Structure 1
Amino acid sequence: MTDQDARRPPASIDETITLLREQDYLAGRGLATVIFLALRMQRPLFLEGEAGVGKTEIAKALAKGLNRPLIRLQCYEGLDVASAVYEWNYPAQMLDIRLSEASGLEDRERLEANLYSERHLIRRPVLQALARQGEAAPVFLIDELDRTDEAFEAFLLEVLSDFQVTIPELGTIRAAEPPIVIITTNRTREIHDALKRRCLYHWVDYPDAAQELAILKRKVPQAGEALSRQVVAYVQKLRTVDLFKNPGIAETIDWATALTELDRLALDPETISDTLGTLLKYQDDIARIRGGEGGALLAEVKADLLAAG
């Protein structure tokens, strides 16, 4: 991909909303504003919210809308520099040593320079995001940062402050153009203030009924109007119940898709019971809704929709 292939960042908040909508991501004005500012100010964007509200999809929509590469660092417990930034190709280095010994090469400095050269460097996501030469800056997604530990957070400070990393054998590698950095967290633990200060912040919440209905119409256009309204109203009610894990937008889409595959035109207690596995992902939650609360919620939904006309 060349710089000419990349689309320029949006020039206004309205353009940002349009760019995301073109990728089927419906963003409210608050979210579009902070995305626009992050692009203009070249600051990382820190997105916090419950799992399943669409944080990761924002990075995907931006990458697709701006025609930029998406580089994703999926965080997990125990993530270290070798997995996130770089490591040396040890087998290739050992092969070079053996070949040098076989050929009688005794120049130690030359051998060492060859061993720690670019051709033996394995670039992991952080280095890939910073070291793109002559190409459009990528969208760099640091996904679920809260799964890592504080030591990795501390390492990221240099990356997010100066868009550079230091490799002892090669020196400092600095991004020619800062990548578009999107950081997500499900808030399973608090992220240190030092990292947050380097970012613009936005809490991504569950959508309201009108926005979720609009999303569903885009993502599952084959679902009928009545079914879509019932699905959204039911999910909205379900999120007010004290569940272990509330259904996210992805689960709403999956449920509506499953219902259309079953040729359902409206919700009924039996269908809800049979398809709860597409909406809820914990047995205790499924048992609770299937055990009686599901029917009561459906009655409330139908009454509300009838009253609304």
Structure 2
Amino acid sequence: LVEARGEGTHADIGDIMSREFLIARPLLRAVEEAAAGRPPVLLIDEIDRADEEFEAFLLEVLSDFQVTIPELGTIAAEHPPVVVITSNRTREIHDALKRRCIYHWIDYPDEAREVEIIRRRVPEVDERLAAELAGAMHRLREAELFKPPGVAETLDWARALQVLGAERLDEETIADTIGVILKYREDVETVRAAGLERLAGPPR
């Protein structure tokens, strides 16, 4: 492109396959930082949403903590980075990748902890409404739902109620806002059939 514009020659700009023209993405940056003696923490969030090609590449990185670039050679980490991988179980992760991980299951928080999260992230919601929300969400998660709501949905619900000016979680408010937390028609029908009033009760 430079030559076409008459601004220089190939020799002027150097080899386009050189490091100068390489855009380092997070995996390569993590290995480079580790190779320089500054091992970082690398977070790979929701690995199950990535394709199998990325998973295979990640397996190579986690096996040897190095990245090979044909035109530039191999960059190896002297001290491996700390790698944290999360999954929502939307698909199965390859066994070879799981064997390289220390598994830890993070369950839903208890009601008291969920109240703390609501109050911290949506401080406009008062203590009582936060407790009602946490209690309702825990009762919802006990139902046989296709997609039980998580903490993210709790916060979305809290923000929606705050925008609507709701002060209490009554049956009418739940009916008007249930689409904030349930995203499948079957789940909405299941909860309605069981009775919305069971969600509107006081915290347990």
Global fold match (TM > 0.5): yes
Matches within 5 A, 1:169-180: 169-175=71-77, 177-180=79-82
Residues in 2 aligned to 1:182 and 1:97: alpha-carbon distance in whole angstroms: 45
1:148 and 2:50 matched: yes
Tell me how far 1:135 sits from its aligned partner.
8.5
Mapped to 2, the partners of 1:129 and 1:191 lie a distance apart of 22
The C-alpha deviation readout for 1:192-227, integer Å capped at 9, x for no partner, is: 232222222111111122221222222223222221
Give the superposed CA RMSD: 2.9
Counterpart of 2:60 in 1: which secondary structure? helix
Secondary structure of 1:127's partner?
helix
Post-superposition CA distance 1:147-199 (Å, at most 9, x none): 33444333222211232111111110123553332111112232223222222
Match of 1:166, SS state, is strand
As a proportion of its length, which structure holds more strand? 1
Task: Tell me how many residue pairs correspond in the alignment.
Answer: 201
Kindly indicate whether residue 37 of structure 2 is the aligned counterpart of residue 131 of structure 1: no
Aligned residue in 2 for 1:295: 197
| Whole-angstrom distance in 2 between the partners of 1:268 and 1:283 | 21
Contact 1:231 1:256 in 2 (8 A): yes
Question: Which of 119, 128, 145 is the equivalent residue of 2:20?
Answer: 119
Distance 2:85 2:170 in 1: 40
Shift of the alpha carbon at 1:146?
Answer: 1.9
| Residue 243 (structure 1) aligns with | 145
Q: Which residue of structure 1 lines up, in the alignment, with residue 129 of structure 2?
A: 227
Alpha-carbon distance in 1 for matches of 2:50, 2:124: 40
Q: Is this contact kept in 1: 2:31–2:66, CA < 8 A? A: yes
Structure 1 contact 131–176 (Cα < 8 Å) conserved = no
Higher relative contact order (CA 8 A, sep 6+): 1
1:105-135 superposed Cα distances (whole Å, 9 cap, x missing partner): 7xxxx89x72321112232332122223868
The letter of the residue matching 2:160 is: A
Bigger Cα displacement from structure 2, 139-148 vs 157-166: 139-148
Q: Given the superposition, is the C-alpha separation of residues 135 and 98 from structure 1 closer, same or farther in structure 2, using an over 3 Å criterion? A: farther
Structure 1: distance between partners of 2:140 and 2:127 = 20
Cα distance, 1:97–1:135 mapped onto 2, change above 3 Å: farther
Question: Do the aligned partners of residues 96 and 170 (structure 1) sit closer, same or farther apart at CA in structure 2, a change above 3 Å counting?
Answer: farther
**Cα separation, partners in 2 of 1:114 and 1:221, compared to 1, 3 Å:** same
Report the counterpart of residue 158 of structure 2 in structure 1.
Answer: 256
Give unpaired runs (5+ residues) of structure 2: none
- Equivalent position of 2:110 in the other structure: 208
- What does residue range 65-144 of structure 1 map to in structure 2 within 5 Å? 95=1, 114-132=15-33, 136-144=38-46
What residue in structure 2 maps to residue 165 of structure 1?
Answer: 67
The one-letter amino acid paired with 1:117 is: S
> Which one-letter code corresponds to 2:32 in the other structure?
A
Change (3 A) 1:99 1:266: closer
Identity level (%): 52
